[in-house]
Structure 1
């Protein structure tokens, strides 16, 4: 099952004009980090995006370096490597690695059954949430033998998600993970933090 609906501005890059309503779930997942909406994400934009959702400086720096080293050239087939390490949103599905949950298909569309499987298999304590131990078991359970790059990618992605979005009880809730997959989670978090900042300033 694919998640296709979204609201926003058109994206534009050097090769194509794509309307956000036609984007895959994976494209919408990463589009938050395209801070100037040009269809290309640079490391400094990823850093800014992580900071906007409450990530610390060190984690934001690490995430931006790791993500762009891992994905840049995969999303730019046939092009000469760039020292700016851009990621092209149109081709983000090419960066999909092995040893993942399968909740995105090969075209970056959301797969409902695979998403549900995460919690059916590994959400043993609460059903609709993952403890950190269950998250670790899930990341280990989806490994493909000798797919070491995929192991690292899955470990980093899920641990960052847990660090930034676990609740006060240390649980990664099912709606939170769904929102991460469909691209709405980061926008929600930024709005929440912006609102908190406005309230704090008003109370000073």
Structure 2
């Protein structure tokens, strides 16, 4: 029997509605609560899944939200502010070319910087204040980050239960494209563009030799630990 099939005994727990075939195509993991304690509670400090119930082992969260941890890799001097040249250095550190890193250093800080400012007067240096990075959450995403920057285990797991058809814990390039198409919000052209750029960059940097983007790499993206791994790999450590 399909795990997502509606039963007469408990329709209140059904995740499949026969009148909405898409709910059968994009399935949810009905056993997630057995695999992760209270998966419906978004975690503020760690990115958890079935293989990482306590988040990334041995990693200090520094009392930052998971979203803050994601961006803090690019704060190269750890002063809580990311300037365009730091974004550039961060992109270079994970293996991106000079042109892409320069483009990212300008565009990311230009698009996100003002939203994080502590006041109304914009800075010509385009700083991103990590303290306020939650204000930069965009639409057309997986919703794994909530609006405060916490990590939602159920939303993260849904990436794979819905779209990882070929391999349960990895996305192919085609499946990634399907997820991006499905996550699009109506008229959200900026959010769509940012989401596509983020995921395509992740795929180019972290896919394996078979073209698979694994769960561990995606989870590491959310808490920033993947960036640290890529930097160490590039340095040959």
Report the Cα distance in structure 1 between the residues aligned to 2:228 and 2:44, rounded to whole angstroms.
17
Greater alpha carbon shift after TM alignment, 93-102 vs 20-29: 20-29
Q: Which runs of 5+ in 1 are unaligned?
A: 9-19, 197-204
Report the Cα distance in structure 1 between the residues aligned to 2:153 and 2:128, rounded to whole angstroms.
26
On the 8 A contact 1:3/1:182 being kept in 2, the answer is no
Deviation of the 1:66 alpha carbon: 2.1
2:173 pairs with one of 132, 155, 164: 132
Report the Cα distance in structure 2 between the residues aligned to 1:52 and 1:3, rounded to whole angstroms.
27
On the 8 A contact 2:207/2:213 being kept in 1, the answer is yes
Alignment pair present for 1:27 and 2:68: yes
Report the Cα distance in structure 2 between the residues aligned to 1:77 and 1:101, rounded to whole angstroms.
28
Counterpart in the other structure of 1:44: 85
Q: Which runs of 5+ in 2 are unaligned?
A: 1-41, 47-57
Alignment pair present for 1:96 and 2:144: no
On the 8 A contact 1:73/1:85 being kept in 2, the answer is yes
Counterpart in the other structure of 1:54: 95
1:185 pairs with one of 201, 226, 237: 226
Normalization by structure 1: what TM-score? 0.86
SS at match of 2:236: helix
Deviation of the 1:65 alpha carbon: 2.0
Q: Say which structure is richer in helix.
A: 1
2:110 pairs with one of 64, 69, 84: 69
On the 8 A contact 1:32/1:49 being kept in 2, the answer is yes
Deviation of the 1:7 alpha carbon: 4.7
Q: Considering only aligned residues, what root-mean-square deviation do their CA atoms show, in Å?
A: 1.5
